[in-house]
């Protein structure tokens, strides 16, 4: 070899072959799509070894195991995710419900499905959860008369379905379903109150008021109806009536914890911020679950009571749970653009 040809030979630069967690995860997904379950599991587990705190990796592994029929291990992983890694991944409850259903553990499946709906009434899998609950009802009805969903539990399912429609703005569907529930159970006041709420949100204000008046006429002192009516009066600008009802509610001391939060919400909506703040602080001391709704309400009440730092803490927590409104308010506060009239709880 002459010098010219020798000089033309160059050695390539050796590049390190980096195998990080994402590399193994993507390999696992690739094998999963090819229906090669064992190899998919192997690579996802390798990804988890390198990045054990990533809930997505764990959830994907649980999904592959469920597809393979290993429902028990799948649920162990989902339980680990929701208790140790990310308590806001409510979809884990829905996936656990499906796994329990496949295992024939219908009662546990129902419990998980109900829990998903309760924790995330506007979630992606609400309709699927409701369908699963109906299916479980028929399965249990066919297999045994013991332990099947009773009439009250079915009402809970229908009520949760209507609430999901309201949360998504599907007022026509909610109104239709609630009217059917009332036809079946004329004294089901919770359905009457939800119907009034749906009518009001749809813009049928007088119909909503009439519905609420009817509840209070037939069930005097109905707490939810009083809270709704107070909020309706506030939004309609009927200030004197709103103040009168607000003062009445301030004398009420509900025992039920959900009613106590409804009271705090109502006070916040009608700008009784000190009263709202008082109720919310008591709930916080009792470890009331910090949902987006609770955190927003607590932040708004705190802000208008002059505790800006406490408000920011709550908004930051809400933002971590995916609340876009909280992110917007935090950004406005950071830039000195936050105005009192923009801090409202709706």
HEC string of 225-274?
HHHHHHHHHHHCCCHHHHHHHHHHHCCCCCCCHHHHHHHHHHHHHCCCHH
- Is the full-model pTM beyond 0.75? no
The arithmetic mean of pLDDT across residues 112-134, rounded, is 81
pLDDT for the residue numbered 288: 84
Measured between alpha carbons, how far is 75 from 89 in angstroms, rounded to an integer? 14
Mean pLDDT of 264-278: 97
Per-residue pLDDT tens for 142-181?
554 444 445 665 666 677 767 777 877 888 888 988 998 8
Q: For position 61, what pLDDT does the model report?
A: 94
16 contacts: CB under 8 Å, gap ≥ 6:
none
Q: Give the integer Cα–Cα distance in Å for 330 and 42.
A: 42
Q: pLDDT tens digits for 321-335? A: 888 899 999 999 898
pLDDT at 11 over 50: no
Confidence tier at 83 by pLDDT (50, 70, 90): confident
Give pLDDT tens digits for 17-71: 456 888 999 999 999 888 888 999 999 999 999 999 999 999 999 999 998 888 8
Least confident piece of the model among 186-190, 214-218, 232-236 = 186-190
């Amino acid at each position: 070899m002459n010098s010219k040809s020798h000089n033309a030979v160059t050695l390539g630069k050796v590049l390190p072959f980096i195998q990080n967690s994402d590399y193994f995860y993507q390999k696992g997904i690739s094998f999963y799509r090819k229906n090669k379950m064992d190899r998919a599991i192997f690579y996802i587990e390798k990804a988890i070894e390198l990045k054990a705190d990533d809930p997505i990796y764990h959830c994907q592994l649980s999904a592959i195991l469920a597809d393979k029929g290993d429902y028990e291990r799948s649920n162990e992983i989902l339980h680990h995710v929701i208790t140790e890694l990310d308590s806001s991944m409510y979809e884990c409850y829905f996936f656990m419900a499906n796994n329990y259903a496949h295992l024939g553990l219908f009662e546990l499946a129902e419990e998980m499905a109900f829990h998903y709906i309760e924790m995330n009434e506007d979630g992606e899998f609400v309709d699927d959860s409701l369908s699963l609950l109906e299916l479980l009802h028929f399965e249990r009805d066919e297999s045994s008369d013991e332990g099947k969903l009773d009439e009250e539990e079915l009402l809970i399912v229908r009520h949760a379905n209507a609430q999901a429609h309201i949360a998504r703005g599907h007022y026509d569907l909610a109104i239709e379903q609630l009217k059917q529930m009332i036809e079946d159970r004329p004294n089901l006041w919770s359905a009457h109150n939800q119907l009034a709420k749906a009518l009001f949100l749809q813009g049928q204000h007088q119909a909503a008021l009439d519905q609420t008046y009817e509840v209070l006429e037939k069930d005097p002192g109905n707490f939810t109806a009083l809270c709704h009516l107070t909020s309706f009066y506030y939004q309609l600008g009927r200030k004197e009536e709103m103040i009168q009802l607000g003062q009445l509610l301030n004398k009420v001391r509900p025992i039920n914890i959900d009613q106590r939060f409804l009271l705090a919400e109502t006070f916040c909506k009608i700008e009784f911020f000190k009263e709202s703040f008082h109720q919310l602080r008591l709930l916080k001391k009792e470890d009331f679950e910090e949902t987006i709704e609770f955190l927003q309400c607590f932040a708004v009440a705190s802000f208008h009571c002059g505790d800006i730092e406490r408000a920011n803490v709550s908004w930051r927590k809400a933002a971590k749970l995916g609340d876009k409104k909280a992110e917007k308010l935090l950004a406005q506060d950071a830039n000195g653009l936050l105005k009192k009239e923009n801090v409202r709880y709706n």
